């Protein structure tokens, strides 16, 4: 084959490969100067391969992009200019190059697309370092692997039969506590979701060995703050309702260090 033809075929193949890579076609990035009150500090992934972020700082966007790599807490993000934790942004985008697959794989593709967006529009460059921090391991409570009454194999999914609502508050009762519902979650996703409970205050690693996705319901006493002893509250609720428990230890944990970041041009 002539060299010119080989080069042309290679160029077409490379262009095709690049077009298939997960990416975010941004419809809008704007500074948010009105954010106040309760808000969701994570990127929201919507039906139709869409994404939305409202009033998020760059640090929160980074956490959403790297949560699958174990970056769950703001304390695991270091360095960078001061505005990365103070200025807020609204982003609306459409995901491209997302291939069908199991929920874990789809989430990895979403996060790959978000990482590419941050590198392109925020000029983000970062590296990972290991630092010793307190952690919790999410494990099975029973030796025989028996799960609790409030966890079932998921009945929602991307097939359109019933869309998943990843996390929602079902009710809040001052006496009984807060009841949270989680749908279509893998155990790694559930571990990341638990980090937001004020009782926790640590990175949580999935060590259950469970595969697939689950629908869960968890009722816990209204959290009062970090609880390093692991007594009562969400710790007891996890064991009694889900058959899971958190084991605390100190271990080497990934920390993402920002080497460079710049404010995006608004559009």
Domain ranges of the chain: 3-130+254-260, 132-252
What integer pLDDT is reported at residue 12 of this predicted model? Answer: 41
Beta bridge partners of 254: 130
Q: What angle do CA 96, 102, 104 make, to 5 degrees?
A: 80
Mean local confidence (pLDDT), 70-81: 92
More confident residue, 101 or 141: 141
Question: Token pair for residue 26?
Answer: 């941004």
Q: What angle do CA 152, 153, 158 make, to 5 degrees?
A: 130
Range of lowest pLDDT (14-18, 143-147, 235-239): 14-18
Range of lowest pLDDT (11-20, 90-99, 201-210): 11-20
Percent composition of the chain: helix, strand, coil (DSSP 3-state, to 5):
30, 35, 35
Positive or negative, the CA dihedral 84, 90, 95, 101 is positive
3-state SS, residue 155: coil
Split at pLDDT 50, 70, 90, the class of 18 is: very low
Q: What is the pLDDT of residues 208-266, one digit of tens each?
A: 999 999 999 999 987 665 565 555 689 999 999 999 999 999 999 999 999 999 999 88
Mean local confidence (pLDDT), 188-197: 88
Split at pLDDT 50, 70, 90, the class of 109 is: very high
CB neighbours (10 Å) of residue 220? 20
The candidate with the shortest Cα–Cα distance to 32, out of 9, 11, 13, 57, is: 57
Phi, psi for 131 (deg, rounded to 5): -135, 145
Is residue 223 a contact partner of residue 127, using CB atoms and an 8 Å limit? no
Range of lowest pLDDT (46-55, 70-79, 98-107, 124-133): 98-107
Average pLDDT, the chain: 86
Beta bridge partners of 88: 32, 57
Beta bridge partners of 76: none
């Amino acid at each position: 084959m002539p060299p010119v033809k080989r080069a042309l075929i290679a160029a077409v193949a490379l262009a095709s490969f690049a077009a298939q890579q997960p990416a975010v076609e941004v419809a809008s990035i704007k500074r948010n100067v009105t954010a106040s009150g309760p808000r969701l500090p994570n990127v929201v992934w919507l039906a139709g391969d869409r994404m939305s972020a409202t009033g998020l700082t760059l640090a929160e966007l980074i956490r959403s992009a790297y949560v699958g790599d174990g970056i769950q807490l703001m304390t695991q993000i270091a360095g960078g200019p001061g505005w990365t934790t103070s200025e807020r942004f609204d982003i609306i985008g459409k995901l491209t190059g997302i291939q069908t697959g199991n929920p874990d794989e789809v989430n990895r593709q979403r996060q790959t697309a978000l990482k590419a967006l941050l590198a392109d529009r925020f000029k983000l460059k970062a590296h990972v370092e290991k630092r010793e921090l307190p952690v919790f391991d999410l494990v099975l409570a029973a030796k025989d692997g028996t799960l609790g009454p409030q966890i079932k194999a998921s009945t929602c999914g991307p097939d359109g039969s019933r869309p998943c609502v990843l996390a929602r508050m079902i009710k809040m009762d001052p006496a009984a506590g807060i009841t949270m519902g989680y749908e279509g979650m893998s155990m790694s996703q559930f571990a990341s979701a638990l980090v937001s409970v004020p009782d926790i205050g640590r990175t949580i690693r999935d060590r259950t060995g469970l595969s697939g996705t689950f629908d869960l319901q968890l009722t816990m006493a209204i959290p009062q703050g970090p609880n390093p002893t692991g007594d009562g509250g969400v710790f007891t609720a996890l064991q009694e309702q889900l058959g899971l428990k958190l084991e605390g230890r100190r271990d080497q944990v990934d920390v993402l260090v920002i080497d460079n970041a710049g404010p995006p041009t608004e559009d």
